[in-house]
Structure 1
């Protein structure tokens, strides 16, 4: 079957809708979407890389019978009436995990979901970006030039609004084709389980010691240097949160790491480090230097300590030395999952999460059986369709190693 001829999608069918930035306009849109029929295409634009928060700065919707709407959530920050009006209508998102948190902040929480990106993964599409999916599946080419724009800009340029409206223009049509393909391939029930799991997933808890994720921190080899990273990161985070700026726009990670390595004692020495001379960083030179000095004078008891082992298995590349039997179990399990993923034409990580495979094989259930392996996978968050496909071959592979005395 040949791919459809690609045609550029240049304008929304009804033109660019006006931006809704007034409660009365929002109420009229809610009423229109409540009267509409079928799934609702939804997208949200953030200002990642520009602003501290992950809030939405534009929400786009489209539904049969209602057309498209562009909502300014800065002016209209409460979409709970829209949430109520749509009830259990199926909400169509592309890469839902990216948009659901910022939509929830606005009071919009879908009850039913169709994720076109995840559907594409389950169907074995090699590239699952929205533009690529629309081009391959529908034969239409979307303009993607504004995806990384600063959507906190006001007023939003017309070209950006056109781009935003087109993002939901054919999302329901894409959903319809993917839905049919999932049904034909016997994967529709799998997709429904995945979509339900996304909606049921709890919010991620705050990270412990988030400063430890500073890019390049592996170069800092001593505790005093780690203290400098911690102090500078904490100050940068406070400045970024107050100003609602992306932290990297206040001070890049590379500058923090270099300051931890050099530990400058004067403002002049600090400004000899690249990025401390930028306009944003220069405003806080005294604060940066004070943070470095605080770290330098901390008592040893207050220095950050090396990270201990987590609650999971060690990195897989260490298994052969630490537990050769576990390394053999992991290799056998990975081979099983890879073969099944190839058979069902999907990425291995969508067939079974790599973390579940590692935890299963690091501490296998005893005695090994299909029942015990299924129970362990279920406890690790595997969906029933994943367990149904993998439990028999995984249990057999682990049993073979047990019989050989390699478990």
Structure 2
């Protein structure tokens, strides 16, 4: 293959794709700018095989048909894609390649399953696995600026140059621990999460912090307003907050204005948005308010936490942490506090909730044990010899 590693021309990209097409796996990463647009603006694509690593200058080639073979390789189900903390990367690839690149292996998720801790940084993983300390000089680089320096390109390349070796190391650890199937479950969950970020605008309201504090009728207003904001931000290709901030959406949902004048009095709502879209916003809110109760969203009911419930949650959390330590797995990967609280609440009602901790490998490792503790089938104690939590 041509020795050029910074790919800026169609000829260079074609030669790179000829090489990539022979690989069974690819290390992938991206550099992007996300502050000024609805869809983050892709700047660089870093890619590596066992023999070569390269950087594709996306703006220089995005209008080129030469990218089509690259996207075909990314979509190829026979090629495994290796990423680290890859949710945003996978979403960007799905946007440009037309599909989530499968199969993929996320080294951050795998690392959490074999004792490296939750959300371990790539540089930390390289240091612990390879003993090499990566430079952090360009962490806040503006990747849209051109030309890029040789130091910037070297920094970007490091993001993929160690990924395949880390992949080998983590797969070996997972295999030894019998957790390869567990990792596959987690990658499927990540795939679902990436798909959720691309879901219909009518579902976006649930990502507005505080939506679950609304009454159902107000939540219906928020749902329609959030859908309008989603469509408008996408049309203008600007961040959602540039159209309207979350707190303004919540304010409008709680107290819907009835006139353009009342809209102008809403704190945080730009006058320019009222000028352009005031009538549309009013019509959107009135339409939502006219919906029958059967069309309102289901809002979680506020629940009073009983003192004994709090004690149960704390006990189960202690069991979870002990089990996680014993199996060298990040406890946050097993269950959240909300999951455990839901389990305690459901037990009081004689039901078993459909939670991640009650499915797949999590149920095997922890879920059934938590149920046994709740049902009094297992006694939790302090082992006097080790000083650690134990159960029998």
The two structures have a TM-score, normalised by structure 2, of 0.69
Q: Is the Cα contact below 8 Å between 1:356 and 1:380 reproduced in 2?
A: no
The verdict on how the C-alpha distance between 1:57 and 1:206 changes in structure 2, with shifts beyond 3 A counting, is: farther
Structure 1 segment 34-73 matched on structure 2, within 5 A: 34-35=21-22, 39-53=25-39, 56-70=42-56, 72=58
Alpha-carbon separation, structure 1, partners of 2:328 and 2:118: 10
Alpha-carbon separation, structure 1, partners of 2:275 and 2:336: 47
SS in 2 for 1:70: strand
Residue in structure 2 matching 1:33, options 11, 17, 20: 20
SS in 1 for 2:48: strand
The verdict on how the C-alpha distance between 1:294 and 1:212 changes in structure 2, with shifts beyond 3 A counting, is: farther
Q: How many residues align?
A: 362
Give 2:390's aligned residue.
none
Alpha-carbon separation, structure 2, partners of 1:334 and 1:146: 36
The verdict on how the C-alpha distance between 1:296 and 1:29 changes in structure 2, with shifts beyond 3 A counting, is: closer
Q: Is the Cα contact below 8 Å between 1:117 and 1:128 reproduced in 2?
A: yes
Alpha-carbon separation, structure 1, partners of 2:356 and 2:265: 54
Q: Is the Cα contact below 8 Å between 2:46 and 2:53 reproduced in 1?
A: no
Residue in structure 2 matching 1:243, options 214, 236, 241: 236
Alpha-carbon separation, structure 2, partners of 1:220 and 1:62: 48
Unaligned runs of 5+ in 2: 380-392
Deviation sequence 1:166-223 (CA, Å, 0-9, x none): 321322344345456556xx53x32553135414754335475423543466887896
Give 2:179's aligned residue.
190
Q: Is the Cα contact below 8 Å between 1:115 and 1:195 reproduced in 2?
A: no
Q: In the alignment, does 2:268 pair up with 1:290? A: no
Deviation sequence 1:336-363 (CA, Å, 0-9, x none): 2222013233322323466765565544
Give 2:360's aligned residue.
382
Residue in structure 2 matching 1:336, options 319, 322, 333: 319
Give 2:72's aligned residue.
81
Alpha-carbon separation, structure 1, partners of 2:134 and 2:91: 28
Alpha-carbon separation, structure 2, partners of 1:300 and 1:345: 51
SS in 2 for 1:168: helix
Give 1:97's aligned residue.
87
SS in 2 for 1:318: coil
Unaligned runs of 5+ in 1: 1-13
